[in-house]
Structure formats: C-alpha cells, structure tokens
Amino acid sequence: MNKIEWCTATKKHHCYDPTTYCTEHHCTEPEPIRCKWCGSTYVIKHGIDNGTQKYLCLECRREFSTLDAPYGMHTTVEQIGASLAMYYTGLSLSDIVQFLKQAYDNEVERSTVYRWLIRFTKDAIGIFEEFKPKVSDTWIADETAIKFQDKLYWIWDIIDRDTRFLLASYLSPNRGAKQAQILMERASKRADTVPKNVITDGLLAYLDGIELAFGADTKHIQSTPFAEIDSTNIIERFQGTIKERTKVIWGFKTPETANIILQGFLIHYNFFRPHLALENHTPAEAAKIKLPFKNWAEFVRKAGGIL
C-alpha cells in the first residue's frame, strides 16, 4: 500500500511507493543471519563475548558468531591461515607473534599460535590424505640426518619423479630395512599404486625395504648424486629447498609431535607451495588433484566450521 508523504523539494504531498523507491535508490534487503553450522536462518541473539555478538541456532542448537573466525576463537581465519603458512615456510613462533602484532595489532602468545598449528595440522592430515595423486611409475627416496632432542634421527622422504609430489615423510631414530619398508608402504598407500622403479642412494636398507614392501613388482635402482640418468639429484634438490623444516622440528619435545609437523609440511609442500620446476604449479596440481582449498586460510575457514 502506497504512503502519502510531504516532499520538501516540491512542497507538495505525493504518493510514496516503497518498492519503487528502493528500486530507484538501489536499496537491498539486509542479509539474514545464517547459522555457520547448518545454514538455518532461525537464529536468535545469545549474549556478547568480548564485544562479539553471539547467536544461537534454533535448528541445530549450536552457538556461533558472525566474526570470520573459527568457532570459539577471536582471531580471524586470515591471520590463522597466514600463521600456518609462515610457520611451514620456516618462520618461528616468535616471528609469527611479532608479525601478527605489527600487521594486525593482534597480541597473541606463542602458545596460542602453537595450538593453532597443532589443531589445524591434525585436521588437515585427516582430510588431505584422502586426495589420491596421479603419479608416474618411478619414485625417488632418500633420508637425511638431523639432531632431535640431542639424539640422531632420520627424516625419510619419497617423492614422485615427474610431479614432485611428496608421497611420504616421517621421522625415525633408526636407519634400517624396516624404516625403508615403512616409507615404501606409506607412499604406496598414498598413491594407491605400486611403482615400477624406486631410485635411491647406496644405502643397503633400501634393498631389503623395497623387497619387503613390493616384492618383485618393483625394480630397485641404486644411483649416485652425479649420475645423469636415474639419479637422486631431484630429491637432493628437494632436501636443499626444505632445510628450514629442520628448524621447526627442533623445538618439539616428542617425536610424535615432530611427526605431526612433518605431515603438516608435506601438506604445505604438496598443496600450497608452487614449484619452479612445475612452472609455478603445485605438486598437487601436477598430480591432477582438484583441491577445494587454495591456501591455509581457506582450509581453516572450512575446518573451523565457517560456511
């Protein structure tokens, strides 16, 4: 129903059609508040927490806020995602805390960043392992020594020759056939296939480890860093690009936690870090994986229950 209003410009009464007025003045209806968990618009205000309005969904009975942050947190997904990316690039927790203060005026403790790191890395491990890469029939394995908790440990790695996809990586206090077997089996499970060839250095543990994992289906090729064909140069270059990861492992008290971080680095390397040898594509893109997340921030948003 039209409304009679007084026009101050013409000094006359005129009919006011709200629909026409809104169309002419580009008005839009305000977007309803939707539940971040189930998408329902049946929500009510439910108190204020540290200045942030909280809501209660009458459908799923869960609380949420409109802040672009994971449920129960007051830091945005942008900042949390940036923190994870910086950490897996080699920055320390202290460096990240300083960055958040300078860039966002957000004062957080190192322990807070650590909790983000462990929580979302664990979430990512369970989700990203479901993506199966399309890899070649030739893989390259290597191991490198690091000092961890004043003891000598070994990081075992195996990557696909063509896509540079890091199929498996783990930390072990031993350097024997059993550890080589574990590496092969983890890589095979990830790729959902068995390779025709595995290239390694001269470590004898690989000979038995590959045999135990794959039997006669896989040929073991021993190479040297200077061989022109079938060499381990690829993985040695890989090892050279990720020396920073050893820094982030030193600060952890248990091998179990360090292995979580190694899996987080594997995810970062495969899915979020462009590779120069792949024309700035990620190994995941080269392996034909269509990922719903472009970066850590998008993953944090999904894992944090933000629709």
Q: Is 15 a residue whose pLDDT tops 60?
A: no
User: CA-to-CA distance for 56 and 37, rounded, in angstroms?
Assistant: 11
Of 42-56, 129-143, 193-207, the poorest mean pLDDT is in 42-56
User: CA-to-CA distance for 275 and 263, rounded, in angstroms?
Assistant: 18
pLDDT range class, residue 38, cuts 50, 70, 90: confident
- Which is more confidently placed, 191 or 13? 191
Q: Judge whether 165 and 271 are in contact, CB under 8 Å.
A: no
Per-residue pLDDT tens for 184-201? 999 999 999 999 999 998
What sign for the dihedral angle of Cα 211, 217, 222, 225?
A: negative
User: CA-to-CA distance for 49 and 25, rounded, in angstroms?
Assistant: 36
Q: Is 164 a residue whose pLDDT tops 50?
A: yes
Q: Which of 277, 269, 280, 19 is nearest to 128 (CA)?
A: 269
User: CA-to-CA distance for 116 and 94, rounded, in angstroms?
Assistant: 14
Q: Is 176 a residue whose pLDDT tops 80?
A: yes
- Average pLDDT of 32-43? 82
CA distances from 223 to 141, 203, 214, 302 (A): 11, 10, 19, 43
| Bridge partner list, 291 | none
CA distances from 6 to 11, 23, 222 (A): 7, 20, 91
- Which is more confidently placed, 255 or 192? 192
Mean pLDDT of the chain: 83
For residue 301, count CB atoms less than 10 angstroms from its CB and return exposed for 0-12, middle for 13-18, buried for 19 or more: buried
